[in-house]
Structure formats: C-alpha cells, structure tokens
C-alpha cells in the first residue's frame, strides 16, 4: 500500500498537486484536522469530504474551492475568502467565519450550529435548507442571499443587512432587533 503524503505540506506547496493526488486516489479521504493553513492561497482546491476540524484557515483564500461534505467543525476561518465556493452539506458547527467573504457561495443543507458570521459578507450566497441554529449574523451583509427552508431557531440577525421579507423561512425563533 502506498504511504499517505503529508496533506498539509502538499496543499501548501501546490493546490494543483493536491488536486491531482485527490483525482488519482478518489477513495482516500484526506485529513487536515488542526492544520495550520492561515493566509494560504487554496483557490480552486478540491477539499470535498476532507476533515478540517479545528483547522486554522484565517485569512486563507478559498475562492472556487470545493468543500462539499467537508467537516469544518470548530474551524477558524476569520477573514477568509470563499467567493463562489461550494460548501453544500458541509458540517461547519461552531466555525468562526467573522468578517469572511462568501459572495455567491453555495451552502445548501449545511450544518452551522453555533457558527458566527459576524461582519461577514454573504451577498448572493445560497443557504437553502441550512441548519442555522444559534448562528450569529450580527452586522453581516445578507443582501440577496437565499435562505429557503432554512432553520432560523435562535439565530441572531441583529444589525444584519437583509430584507426580512425576502427570507423564505420561518423567522419566529430568530433574534432580529
């Protein structure tokens, strides 16, 4: 059996090499748990189904990255860029996304229990069917974001920029003002 590479080193060295490895060995699940990837340029990285629990991704660039099904529980993602990223069905419970940029990101059916997007930019993001319980969107820009059938129980929307009428979900349990 082939020895597993050091995924952090491989990804830090070359996103293309990491993506090629993932394509050559599609059955192998990469683990980047507790990885130090702050300020890394991970543009278009294939991180689908990767374990990133507790990873430090502060100020990383993850534009157009494929994070579908990834485990980002307790990941530190403050100030990171996730423009056009795919995060469908990811687990992002208790993740810190303060001041993160998620323009046009896809977060369908994502689990965000206790995550924070304080001051984040989620314009045109899609969070349809997302589990948002106890998420903080304080001061976040949610203009033109889609939240169809999302779970808003105990969500904090204070000072968020959004049109409440455009949110197609039950807001009865959300903290709005």
Topology (CATH level 3) of domain 31-177: Pectate Lyase C-like (2.160.20)
Mean per-residue pLDDT for 74-103?
Answer: 98
Q: How confident is the model at residue 64 (pLDDT cuts 50, 70, 90)?
A: very high
Domain boundaries, given as residue ranges, for the chain: 31-177
Please tell me the distance from the alpha carbon of residue 108 to that of residue 124, in angstroms, as a whole number: 13
pTM: 0.90
CA-to-CA distance for 108 and 102, rounded, in angstroms? 13
What pLDDT, in 10s, does the model give residues 118-166? 999 999 999 999 999 999 999 999 999 999 998 888 888 888 888 665 5
């Amino acid at each position: 059996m082939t020895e597993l590479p050091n995924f952090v080193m491989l990804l830090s060295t070359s996103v293309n090499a990491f993506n090629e490895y993932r394509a050559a060995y599609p059955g192998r699940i990469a683990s980047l748990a507790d990885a130090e990837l702050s300020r890394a340029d991970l543009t278009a990285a294939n991180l689908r189904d990767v374990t990133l629990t507790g990873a430090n991704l502060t100020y990383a660039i993850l534009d157009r990255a494929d994070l579908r099904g990834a485990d980002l529980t307790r990941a530190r993602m403050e100030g990171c860029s996730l423009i056009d990223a795919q995060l469908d069905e990811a687990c992002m419970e208790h993740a810190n996304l303060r001041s993160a940029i998620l323009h046009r990101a896809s977060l369908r059916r994502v689990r965000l229990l206790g995550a924070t997007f304080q001051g984040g930019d989620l314009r045109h993001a899609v969070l349809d069917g997302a589990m948002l319980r106890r998420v903080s969107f304080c001061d976040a820009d949610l203009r033109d974001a889609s939240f169809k059938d999302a779970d808003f129980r105990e969500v904090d929307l204070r000072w968020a920029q959004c049109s409440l009428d455009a949110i197609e979900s039950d807001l009865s349990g959300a903290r709005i003002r």
